[in-house]
Structure 1
Amino acid sequence: MAEEQNAQQPKFALQRIYLKDLSFESPNAPATFQQEWKPQVNMDLNTENKQLSENQWEVILTLTITAKVDDKSAFLVEIQQAGVFLIEGLNPQQLAQTLGAFCPNLLFPYARETVDTMVVKGSFPALMLQPVNFDAIYAEAVRRKQQAAAGEEAAEAPKH
């Protein structure tokens, strides 16, 4: 009976966090260092996941950070921070939220620290990326998906 209860309990374990890919470019150095440092910083992020085995998932958080001064590129950082997670006993909706929000939330601090280190090593001032609300991003993605599905259903409905 205890085994049956344990089998039904959700399980989550972080098995590994690793840097999958990293790129840093400073195409206009050293001229960039001679300008007043008032950058326009933009961050794009994306997440993806891949099932590795029955209960094992790879989640990849991709960040692309660009900094421009006077419309000239100061630096570009691209990073793929990844993790392998053991996940069992979740329904499809819980699994999707775990992969789309919870896991990226665990990966982000590692990516943020690596980005900051790369920017400093590139001789730029430290770049402390603001925290990201992955739960809100995931909820918005689900809402948009539902709206798109409702729009498709309305378009396919027979007209009288």
Structure 2
Amino acid sequence: MAEQKQNAQDTQESQDPSFSLQRTYVKDLSLEMPNAPQIFLEQEGPTVEVSINVGGQRLAETIYEATVTATVTTRIEDKVLYLIEATQAGIFEAANIPAEQLDPLLGIVCPTMLYPYLRANVADAINRTSLPALHLAEVNFQSLYEQRLAQSAQEEQQGGQDSGLILPPGATRQ
């Protein structure tokens, strides 16, 4: 009787949803200063452009890799002061997660967990240039996820409408 109870409990536990971060790592990090050292003589303040992108892939049945990439381009007038691209990745285990919850988990929760590591790596790389520190602002990954969903829905709607453009074989709308 006790053995049956234990087996039933083990079966229930194996069916319970589970999610955990297994590992984080820097997947890519590059820093370019194409106009150094002449750019250091400029007196003007720089402009900063930041782009954030989220990605991921399934590695095994319950194992996923999620990535967050930041591209930071800093310019003085039309000259690049520095360009940094960093990709922070993580390995996550997600078992018994309902299919409708898996995409938001990978598109919102995982990037939110990885982003602090990415911010620290970008700040450290910029600090090593001897230029003033740059700390990336907080990102609302839920909002970004919802924007991507809305954009995908809009592209699907427009895909059914004729834009008047004739595309060569194999080409897709951008």
Alignment of 1:33-112 (within 5 A): 33-36=40-43, 38-112=45-119
Q: How much has 1:116 moved relative to structure 2?
A: 0.7
Structure 2 counterpart of 1:130:
137
| Alpha-carbon distance change, 29 to 8 in structure 1, aligned in 2, over 3 angstroms | same
Superposed displacement of residue 153, structure 1: 5.8
Q: Please state whether the residue corresponding to 1:53 is helix, strand or coil.
A: coil
Tell me the matched-pair count. Answer: 155
- Deviation track 1:83-115 (CA, whole Å, cap 9, x = no partner) reads 000001212221100111110111111111111
Shift of 1:31: 1.7
- Structure 2 unaligned blocks of 5 or more: 1-7, 163-174
What are the superposed Cα offsets for residues 106-155 of structure 1, whole Å, 9 maximum, x if unpaired?
A: 11111111111111101110001101111100011112222333444677
TM-score of the two chains, using structure 2 as the length reference: 0.82
1:9 Cα deviation from its structure 2 partner:
2.0
Query: 15, 21, 28: which is aligned to 1:8?
Result: 15
Aligned partner of 1:131: which letter? Answer: E
> 2:123 is matched with which residue?
116
Compute the TM-score of the two structures, normalised by the length of structure 1: 0.89
* Unmatched 5+ stretches in structure 1: 156-160
CA offset digits 1:54-80 (Å, max 9, x no partner)? 000011111111000112100000111
The structure richer in strand per residue is 1
Q: Which has the larger radius of gyration?
A: 2
The aligned counterpart of 2:156 is 149
Name the amino acid aligned to 1:104.
P
Question: CA separation in 2, counterparts of 1:106 and 1:39?
Answer: 30
| 1:158 alignment counterpart | none
Q: Distance between the aligned counterparts of 2:25 and 2:11, measured in 1?
A: 34
Matched letter for residue 109 of structure 1: P
Counterpart code for 2:100 = Q
